[in-house]
Amino acid sequence: MWLWMSATRIALKRSSGKIRTSSELFITLLSSSAYSALSVVKSFRFHHLPDPVAATREIFRILKPGGKLVIIDSDADLFWLTNPPLSVQIVREKFKQVMASRNGNLSIGRNLCRILKQAGFGSVDLEAVVSHSDIIGIESFEPLLDSGPILQMVKQGLISESEIESYLVSRDEFVAAGDRLMMSFWLMACGEKNQ
């Protein structure tokens, strides 16, 4: 049985009449003893969790022996690699600070193996999935260059206009470059509940 968060989120919203965060919904699902699973896939949410080891232990609890957990997430320092270089350091650090202030961790990717092991999983493995503009097209990366979220951070006082100036100049130079490329990495960690 696969547990997909979108279907779970809809079912729990319908049954409770309450709108909750995905983390609350996930813990609600896991707290029910009526569920057991052979496999669980959790994607792009672990960086939002205040205690990813506790959440992983809950997943471990509901898995049947031999069951697997696959966590797909990213690590901010591996997210954008570009040519010509795009100056994203200040923006990346600010996004990390904002996520940390919300009890999350944008550098979660480098910790996925340890999280699985601390939760009791064995046979831990890690793979990198690479997206490259020469394969999927540079237009696939254009939403990442949207300055909207960054300008929202300016409006919220989380980053100053002077701090993002180098990024905006760099981004405009990157967009104008004729021979540009972009690459991002996603990490996929897997652990198994021993028999």
The predicted-structure confidence for 35-57, as pLDDT tens digits, reads as follows: 455 556 656 678 888 888 988 89
Tracing tokens 């697997």 back to the chain, one arrives at: 68
CA separation for the pair 88, 97 (Å, rounded):
14
Handedness of CA 138, 127, 186, 27 (dihedral sign): positive
Q: Which two tokens stand for residue 190?
A: 């897997």
What pLDDT score does 42 carry? 59
Residue 61 is encoded by which pair of tokens?
A: 């609890």
The residues, ordered by sequence, that sit 6+ positions from 173 with a Cβ below 8 Å of its Cβ are: 84
Per-residue pLDDT, 39: 56
Q: Scanning the structure block, which residue is given the tokens 């690459």?
A: 183
Residue 112: band (very low, low, confident or very high) from pLDDT cuts 50, 70, 90: very high
Q: What is the distance between the alpha carbons of residues 92 and 74, in angstroms, rounded to a whole number?
A: 13
| Alpha carbon distance 91, 195 (integer Å) | 45
Give 89-110 pLDDT, tens digit per residue: 777 788 788 888 888 888 899 9
More confident residue, 27 or 106: 106
Burial code of 50-71, b = ≥16 C-beta within 10 A, e = fewer? eebeebbbbbbebbeeebbbbb
d(CA 140, CA 142) in angstroms, rounded, equals 6
Backbone phi, then psi, for 181, in 5-degree steps? -145, 160
- What is the arithmetic mean of pLDDT over 109-131? 94
The pLDDT mean for the chain works out to 76
Q: What are the start-end ranges of the H helices in the chain?
A: 5-16, 22-31, 52-62, 89-101, 112-118, 133-136, 148-155, 161-176
SS3 (DSSP) at 82 = strand
Question: So what's the pLDDT on residue 195?
Answer: 78
Give the C-alpha separation, 52 to 136, whole Å: 32
